[in-house]
Structure 1
Amino acid sequence: MIAQFAGQNQRNWDEKWPEIMLAVNSSTSESTGYSPCFLTQAREPRLPSALYDRETIGTGKQTETPEDKANKMKEIFEIVRRNMEKAAQDQARHYNLRRRQWNPTIGDTVWAKEHHLSKAAEGFAAKLAPRYDGPYTVIDFVSPVICKIRHKDTQKERTVHVSELKQQTQELEQQRRNLQQAQLRIEQRESQARQKQELALATGVPQERPSLDWVNNMSRSVRSGTISRVDMAHIIRFQPEYIRGLL
């Protein structure tokens, strides 16, 4: 809600704090079924739009005695208690959908959850990055839910919560191997591209299939004497057979 009030200008959001408090206290809670203001003051707040109304809503009703209001609030609190119990059960059901009965032990091989940050300058998007890194080995427990892990490759140690760990499985191991193979293939292609670029700079000839314009320009350079036939023969020596046929 604060983000919606702030918008593009994030310097004066604290000046709108009274309006934010009024919006929160007058909104009906999904868990209780009532607004926080009604449960604490036994009445709804008077909104700014009703300050200058000729008639105040609710003034025509008969005044309640303190005993009647207390009995009414007791009934409401009982309704709120049942609503909160039902809401807690619904929230627990949704939370337990991803909950697993597994606790790591010392020596287990696990994967740790990563918290990436996007970097536009480097062209890095956090949504596209792997969510887990590993494999790690559990080496110690700081508390029942906090453990120390060590990366098997880099030997880097981290302290993480057990909820951010994932048990090593054959599927995860296969994914890690596939990722390593893909990275190796990318490095090989980049290395081949660098070698082609260096050869092109050394010979002055593109390593990809040359265009007909390039061939015609080279032929005109030989005829005009800009490039000697010796240099042309040296260049042709590095080219495939189809270039020699064109020349």
Structure 2
Amino acid sequence: MNTAQHESTQASAAEINFGRNPAAPQQIRSEGAVPEEHPATPPAITELWTEIKGHLTAAAKQQKKYYDLRRRPWKPKVGEKVMKRDQPLSSAADNYAQKLAPKFSGPYIIAKYISTNTVKLSNPERPDKQQAHAHLQDLKPFTA
């Protein structure tokens, strides 16, 4: 596991930590062979980390490209009605199965933006109830 090459870093966990890959068991204990004290000099750790950083940057760009293929930019306006994604938990004691629960609740009204991606929601049916916060990723437009 520690010697398996990771797709993003193009290096193994052992290589990242120690600067080299450890010898495999068959290399260490072969008949009559004595393992080398210091195998061929590995690249300096800082050079290795610089190389890995480049691999991670390239992998992040590639992953972003695939993520953005199906991403739809949507920014609702204050006062707009939205549905909020729920993440209920199953409970055997209450005889409740999350699998059968509705995925969205609402409609809610966007009261204000807390940050660029977080909004405060108000429930028009229960204005006395405390307002909830939600991430834009968990919202979808309300269609009557």
Higher CA-based Rg: 1
Higher RCO (C-alpha under 8 Å, 6+ residues apart):
2
The answer as to 2:133 corresponding to 1:159 is yes
Q: How much is the aligned-residue C-alpha RMSD, in angstroms?
A: 3.3
- 1:39-188 to structure 2, matched below 5 A, reads 39-45=16-22, 53=29, 55=33, 59=36, 63-64=40-41, 69-70=42-43, 74=47, 77-78=50-51, 80-81=52-53, 83-155=55-127, 156=129, 157-169=131-143, 173=144
Matches of 2:39 and 2:111, distance apart in 1:
71
Matches of 2:48 and 2:19, distance apart in 1:
12
| Residues matched between the structures, number | 139
Amino acid at match of 1:100: R
Amino acid at match of 1:84: L
1:35 is displaced (CA, Å) by: 1.0
* Cα distance, 1:158–1:73 mapped onto 2, change above 3 Å: closer
Conserved in 2, the CA contact under 8 Å of 1:140 and 1:148?
Answer: yes
Matches of 2:117 and 2:39, distance apart in 1:
57
Instruction: Specify every segment of 5 or more residues in structure 2 that has no aligned partner in the other structure, as ranges.
Output: none
- Identity, in percent, stands at 28
Q: Which residue of 2 aligns with 1:34?
A: 11
- The ranges of structure 1 where at least 4 consecutive aligned residues each deviate by more than 3 angstroms after the TM superposition are 54-57, 60-64, 69-78, 80-83
* Cα distance, 1:141–1:75 mapped onto 2, change above 3 Å: closer
Amino acid at match of 1:83: H
Matches of 1:62 and 1:143, distance apart in 2:
54
1:148 is displaced (CA, Å) by: 1.0
Pick the structure with more helix per residue.
1
Amino acid at match of 2:135: H
Conserved in 1, the CA contact under 8 Å of 2:19 and 2:44?
Answer: no
Matches of 1:29 and 1:114, distance apart in 2:
35
Pick the structure with more strand per residue.
2
Q: Secondary structure at the match of 2:62?
A: helix
Matches of 1:61 and 1:121, distance apart in 2:
61
1:117 is displaced (CA, Å) by: 0.3
Conserved in 1, the CA contact under 8 Å of 2:16 and 2:48?
Answer: no
* Cα distance, 1:97–1:153 mapped onto 2, change above 3 Å: farther
Conserved in 1, the CA contact under 8 Å of 2:19 and 2:48?
Answer: no
TM-score (norm 1): 0.46
Matches of 2:123 and 2:45, distance apart in 1:
61
